[in-house]
Amino acid sequence: MASTVPELKPSSRLLLGPGPSMVHPRVLRAMSTPLLGHLDPEFLVIMNEVQGMLRTVFQTENPFTIAISGTGSAGMEAALVNVVEPGDKVIVCVAGVFGARLAEIVGRCGGQLVKLEVPWGQVFTLDRIEEALRKEGRVRAVAIVHAETSTGAQQPLDGLGKLCRDHGALLVVDAVTSLGGVPVEVDRNGIDVCYSGTQKCLSCPPGLAPLTFSPRALELVRARKHKVQSWYLDVSMIADYWADGKRAYHHTAPISMVYALRESLRLVLEEGLEPRFARHRRHSAAVMAGLAELGCTPNAAEGHRLPSLNCVRTPEGVNDEAPIRKALLADHGIEIGGGLGPLVGKIWRIGLMGESSRQEHVLAVLAALEQALARTGRAVAPGAAVSAALKTYAR
């Protein structure tokens, strides 16, 4: 009997939102490779290769560097459920949606939450965090978002690792929208626990969360008084699964996703980290120049703007931005993001992450925005935004 559900044929899309980002055909091909068993000796070699490449991308020597089965939020949860025991004091820096999610999870772990806040779009100074560490006494961890996807701000990490270490606290960093697009430098920055997601700057479909723990962090986890409340995300068991020579069954690795991540990491390393970071900066500068022509102003504080996620205030006089985003999708097949929380209706978020960060994509989204804005009756000089971007490229 023929199925009444038609064959899957999604429209072609240019993904320039806050994730997922565009995926290279090589990664899609890797996903259709026949499966191996997850304890097959050949698959164990593949896991080792993925771990090695993840260390290079995280810029760390940490032996415990793996991919958690689940999206970026699973990485976030794995970081916190292992580090935080009931009653532990944890300082969480909140400057947007993802900082707030960290705070929410600390509460669910039974941690004693100390929430630091700055207005959305701003970043934290070292002094502010130091003051909190001085005041609070014994603190288990400081958790902070490196690239706040809801605002487009990039939190500086210089000196933070040392500060935390001096106060006996672990540094937990969310690098979901930075890893593979912006330097994270886990070892140089003294980060103890760092996690990311596959679908942002690594340009792989969503489904895995790269995660690394410093030896110091892992020691603390192993010395816990209480069992980790999550069986699935207990890193001491997951460590035994990923440990070369051990491979104790814990859960079945999502084989096809591991293939995909392996191929996307190969692409990152073929390009090289520094050229890749430079590419993200170049296309960000071009799109921001074009957006300025359209009357959009940057949302994040000067000097702290993320090249992987370009957030701008919508142009003065645009009271309802949603129809413009809808037109981009319907007429041009282009996805961009709107605002979250207090920024709903106020900003656009244009992700130029991994494969999405290309000149042809920058020009396409600017031309589409020009047209969509002109249709609303605004005086938009045709080609002005595109030509501002081209000027940036010519420099």
Minimum CB distance to ligand PLP smaller for 176 or for 217: 176
| Closest to 224 measured CA to CA, from 104, 97, 82, 323 | 82
Task: List the one residue from 69, 177, 308, 357 that touches ligand PLP (CB under 6 A).
Answer: 177
Under rule CB under 6 A, residue 72 binds ligand PLP = yes
Under rule CB under 6 A, residue 197 binds ligand PLP = yes
Under rule CB under 6 A, residue 181 binds ligand PLP = no
Give the interface segment with ligand PLP, choosing from 23-31, 65-73, 325-333, 342-350 (CB under 6 A): 65-73
Minimum CB distance to ligand PLP smaller for 79 or for 368: 79
Minimum CB distance to ligand PLP smaller for 357 or for 392: 357
Q: How far is CA 196 from CA 28, 90, 202, 211, in A?
A: 20, 20, 9, 7
Strand partners, 67: 210
Q: Are 199 and 205 in contact (CB under 8 A)?
A: yes
Minimum distance between the CB of residue 152 and ligand PLP, rounded to whole angstroms?
Answer: 11
Estimate to the nearest angstrom the gap between the alpha carbon of 267 and the chain centroid.
Answer: 18
Minimum CB distance to ligand PLP smaller for 145 or for 334: 145
Strand partners, 270: none
Strand partners, 112: 89
Give the interface segment with ligand PLP, choosing from 151-159, 174-182, 232-240, 276-284 (CB under 6 A): 174-182
349 appears as a binding residue in the annotation: yes
What DSSP string runs through 212-268? EE-HHHHHHHHT-SS--S-STT-HHHHHHHHSTTT----S---HHHHHHHHHHHHHH
Instruction: Please give the residues from 201 up to 230 whose contact with ligand PLP meets the rule CB under 6 A.
Output: 206
Minimum distance between the CB of residue 384 and ligand PLP, rounded to whole angstroms?
Answer: 31
Task: List the one residue from 58, 98, 124, 259 that touches ligand PLP (CB under 6 A).
Answer: 98
Cis peptide, bond prior to residue 315, ω within 30 of zero = no
Pattern 2-41, binding to ligand PLP, x per CB under 6 A?
-----------------x----------------------
Phi and psi dihedrals of 97, rounded to 5? -60, -40
Q: Give the list of residues 6+ apart from residue 127 with CB closer than 8 angstroms, or none.
A: none
Q: Which residues here bind ligand PLP, judged by CB under 6 A?
A: 19, 71-73, 76, 98, 145, 147, 149, 174, 176-177, 197, 199, 206
Residues belonging to the binding site for substrate are 349
Residues belonging to the binding site are 349
